Structure 1
Amino acid sequence: MLAIDPGSAKCGVAVVEPGRTLHQEITLTDKLLTRVSELRIQFSPTHIVLGDGTQSKPIAALLPDAVLIPEAYTSQRARERLRKNRPWWQRFLPLPQPYDDLVAVILAEDWLEANAG
């Protein structure tokens, strides 16, 4: 499955299968369609999911096979995951930015969980 966290300048992109992230990156929004085409060739995802937040409508128009899914609180969940995965002494330091790719991973995981079975 290919997941996209849309944004006006950049997008998080991830290819995820149950229990495993195969690829994640941040790409410029104006390069997104090219990257999606390349990732479709490389990974042959069965589904594309698109977070329903910022800039989702223009991207959804360009990717008519994408399924819009709720994006509420995914950035907060990504920040929490980043904090938890740091050594204890780094948990109070600023988080690396940006993390849109991790948001895309979370979108994929949410869709996979909701559609398991």
Structure 2
Amino acid sequence: MKRMISRTAMGLAVAALAVGGLATTAQAAPAAAANSGDPTLTDVYVWATDVNLRQQPTSDSPRLAVRSQWWADAVCQTQGQTVHDPAVGTNNWWTAVQEFAGSDIAWVNNLYIRGGQKIAGVPDC
């Protein structure tokens, strides 16, 4: 198990380096990352795989990175473009996130963040 987590973490770190704009410390497993970020921000868990992190709260905005099953610091949330995923549902709330080591801000639709349509503990922008 430890070897699998190490390989996953290494793969995520390499992918983050390739993206450039975001920091290189992606987290591999929920238990390993919870409460590891800025204590003034709410930790959120992106539960889905291959989730696009966008420059603005719209799917038309440039993609900054792609993450899977990942913890992040939530800065704030706002209503943006409505996203419909047949497997998950529909939501127009987006959360601005950053990696725990600090990074540029990126937006994730709340469909892919554990916590529901609007994430408790994350302030409105």
Higher RCO structure, 1 or 2 (CA under 8 Å, sep 6+): 1
Task: Give the TM-score category using the shorter length.
Answer: under 0.3
Write 1 or 2 for the structure with the bigger share of strand: 2
Write 1 or 2 for the structure with the bigger share of helix: 1
In the superposition, the TM-score normalised over structure 2's length comes to: 0.26
